[in-house]
Chain A
């Protein structure tokens, strides 16, 4: 049983953290706020991918497609149907979840790595459709313009306001993720990852839960895509190529999969790497490749896993010392 002092320590840390997060826009320049806003939407996208990969043990190389469906879906619903922007984001995310389920259902009978092929093919199809849309409804290579988010008449037209909005979104999405993984549904995901055969034997409808994981994941990533559109007000197909899917995977693996904080750390580090190497954009994929390989070969738990190992190591040392005394 945990002691009360520990809980109050946690509470203090939480309050300090909250104050820092809320105060950041007061001290940071606009450019940094833009980066933080990107961080927020990447956290949501990568957390979504984590549900499929980290928890359910399935590999998707097509999440750029859901990112695109969220972005273009929200933009087009606003442009052509006149729906206010915030609602379009949610509708687009639901559409993406439905499409995700349509892809996942037939894929769920495939051996796991073949989902990577199916999702990759799906990603390519979506990319081709948005870059060669009939009647140029997506703006094709010229790109697509849209508006800021409008929250009941209040327009989020500054990076500061978007940052606060994003903060709320991140908290909501991460809380829902936590609820989900620590429930019957999340246990079913993990059981499928650990041993599909035994999961079936324990009464888990493997296909159903694979579809749920993929569909929820598509929802998360699409919502992030919609955030992206309404943050920058402009998108073009280049963002939604295969390399975006690989970037999400790199963020996830580098941060650590199957946990809450992994995607948070991973998206931050990779985002920083991207910004630092902006001049070398042609070699961005080289960096992703190296990062991925390093993670896979040397630290399968990712950054989070390594930190936890360090923490446990220090704790172990401490208890050892205590025992010696």
Chain B
């Protein structure tokens, strides 16, 4: 589904991501872990078009997508969430989801300003669909509240569903459980599996080892911008290098 070949990103003299090659399997949940500052988010940004790799390739569905802009990559079928929540705060919860559908709505400028019958019908369907998505993560009752008024866990869930609204083939989740309590994490676990059942492949960065080990089918470990290890959760968990990196490394 998604492959990267020797992706390298440099900032000035600093190599943030160094020669990383991964292979994300269709309809699986793949985890990307590693200590803070390992370059995980930078790698994500590279897939989603925020950065262009200095060298290497990103291949999605058999097409090279490195160098494409973020919005083009979203249209191709990769949606994402952000480590720091990036909602449209003053828009309503419903509108946030509808912005997420942007790539899939066919109406254009002229049909919008004249509100043509086709545009009306599409808009009606979009609202229905948006309510379905909100129902999926339990935010239906908050549909008309501003996104900024949601509690933290709700904001995280809204980010996920906003990404899903574009009917992606691949969903990139950047620390979806950050700041969630145990109960919310448990719910997230369920939600992730439900997303998978909808046929969406997931690649996620996550620090919470219990969640990662429980939910992921395959795991890549990044350290200092380089791939340290990869494998099934059990293999990775018992890999001495990974253990060393985590013990000698950072907080989590």
B112 A198 Cβ-Cβ under 8 A: no
Q: Does B245 contact A (CB under 8 A)?
A: no
B102 A184 Cβ-Cβ under 8 A: yes
Q: Does A226 contact B (CB under 8 A)?
A: no
- Given known pairs A187-B102, A197-B86, A202-B166, the reply for A179 and B74 (CB within 8 Å) is no
Q: Is the interface of A mostly helix, strand, loop or mixed?
A: helix
Complex Cα gap A265–B200 (Å): 48
The chain B residue sitting closest to A180, CB to CB, is: B113
B166 A195 Cβ-Cβ under 8 A: no
Interface members, chain A 29-51 (any B CB < 8 Å): none
Please give, as numbers and ranges, the residues of chain A lying within 8 Å of B79 by CB-CB distance.
201-202
What mask results when residues 166 to 183 of chain B are scored 1 for a CB within 8 Å of chain A, else 0?
Answer: 100000000000000000
Complex Cα gap A78–B88 (Å): 46
Please give, as numbers and ranges, the residues of chain A lying within 8 Å of B89 by CB-CB distance.
194-195
Complex Cα gap A199–B89 (Å): 12
Known: A187-B95, A201-B74. 11 other contacts (CB 8 A): A179-B112, A190-B90, A190-B91, A190-B95, A191-B91, A194-B88, A201-B70, A201-B86, A202-B79, A202-B166, A205-B71
Q: Does A200 contact B (CB under 8 A)?
A: yes
A198 B113 Cβ-Cβ under 8 A: no
Shortest Cβ gap from A109 to chain B (Å)? 12
- Given known pairs A197-B86, A198-B88, the reply for A184 and B112 (CB within 8 Å) is yes
Q: Does B207 contact A (CB under 8 A)?
A: no
Contact of A203 among B95, B98, B113, B166 (CB under 8 A): B166
7 closest pairs, A vs B, by CB? A203-B103, A203-B74, A183-B112, A194-B88, A200-B70, A198-B86, A185-B112
- Which of A180, A198, A199, A212 has the largest count of B CB atoms less than 10 A from its CB? A198
Interface members, chain A 139-184 (any B CB < 8 Å): 176, 179-180, 183-184
B88 A190 Cβ-Cβ under 8 A: yes
Please give, as numbers and ranges, the residues of chain A lying within 8 Å of B87 by CB-CB distance.
195, 198
Interface members, chain B 79-103 (any A CB < 8 Å): 79-80, 82, 86-91, 95, 98-100, 102-103
Q: Does B230 contact A (CB under 8 A)?
A: no
Shortest Cβ gap from A34 to chain B (Å)? 31
B113 A185 Cβ-Cβ under 8 A: yes
Q: Does B115 contact A (CB under 8 A)?
A: yes
A201 B88 Cβ-Cβ under 8 A: no
Q: Does B28 contact A (CB under 8 A)?
A: no
A-B contacts, 30 listed (Cβ < 8 Å): A180-B113, A183-B107, A184-B98, A184-B107, A185-B109, A185-B113, A187-B91, A187-B102, A190-B95, A191-B88, A191-B99, A191-B102, A194-B90, A195-B86, A195-B89, A197-B86, A198-B86, A198-B87, A198-B88, A200-B69, A201-B50, A201-B70, A201-B82, A201-B86, A202-B71, A202-B74, A202-B79, A202-B99, A202-B162, A203-B71
